[in-house]
Amino acid sequence: MSESVICAVERAEKPNKVRKQGFIPGVVYGKDIKSTSIKLDQKEYKKLLQGHAKNTKVRVKLGNEVKHCIIKEVQKDSVNGQILHVELQTIHSDDIIRLKVPIVFHGKEKLAIKQQLLQELIPEVEIMGKVADMPEFVCIDVGNRKLGDKITVKDIQIGNGIKIIDDESEILAVITAIKEYSEAS
């Protein structure tokens, strides 16, 4: 899993004041640190973690120390989508954690050639294992699948030491036919 680095500053101000100054209020906590209120530069955070949200591994520079963390929670405004608060948990490479990771389907272009489409039903699975072994995502090759095939949790190939929490019979995606619509004149 690739790790980004973000600078955090300890804060004493209230969250609303921090937001007005262009920062995101947050908290860092874990076994090796007392719970610390922080603020993160909004532009830097968005640029660094574009497309990522919960469960992303990051390195947080707080003072002179760099801590390995996962983004445990991101609170957003339901109207404008602005980030309101970020919760970071410190982790160590030998810690056992549970994460939800995205599923990446390979081979969709082979399906398209056969006039087939992958209908994705579940975008992520929950896995458990040592931090050092955690993948950023899991892959499933669907290129050689047939019409009507169901892709389940059981189809995920994952490294040793990582356990998938979800039920192995849970359907993640289905191969369907591409429907062509003709315009009625």
- The pLDDT tens digits for 97-119 are 888 888 999 999 999 999 999 99
Final residue before a domain boundary, out of 61, 91, 121: 91
DSSP state of 132: G
H/E segment holding residue 43: helix 42-48
Number of domains in the chain: 2
- The pLDDT tens digits for 141-177 are 999 999 999 999 999 988 888 999 999 999 999 999 9
Give the domain CATH number at 36: 2.40.240.10
Are residues 78 and 35 both part of a single domain? yes
Q: Indicate if the pLDDT at residue 95 is higher than 50.
A: yes
Of the two residues 16 and 52, the one the predictor is more confident about is 16
- The overall average pLDDT reported for the chain is 88
Are residues 86 and 132 both part of a single domain? no
Q: Indicate if the pLDDT at residue 11 is higher than 60.
A: yes
Are residues 73 and 125 both part of a single domain? no
Task: Please count the helices (runs of H) and the strands (runs of E) in the chain.
Answer: 3, 13
pLDDT at position 185 is: 52
Are residues 113 and 67 both part of a single domain? no
Confidence at 43, pLDDT banded by 50, 70, 90: confident
- The pLDDT tens digits for 44-61 are 888 877 666 567 788 899
Could you tell me the pTM of the whole model? 0.70
Q: What is the residue whose two structure tokens read 């356990």?
A: 163
Does residue 185 sit within a domain?
no
- Host domain of residue 102: 97-177
- The pLDDT tens digits for 73-87 are 889 889 998 889 999
| DSSP β-ladder status, 138-141 and 96-106 | parallel
Final residue before a domain boundary, out of 25, 56, 91: 91
Are residues 82 and 28 both part of a single domain? yes
Are residues 12 and 45 both part of a single domain? yes
Are residues 68 and 104 both part of a single domain? no
Q: What is the residue whose two structure tokens read 């549970």?
A: 98
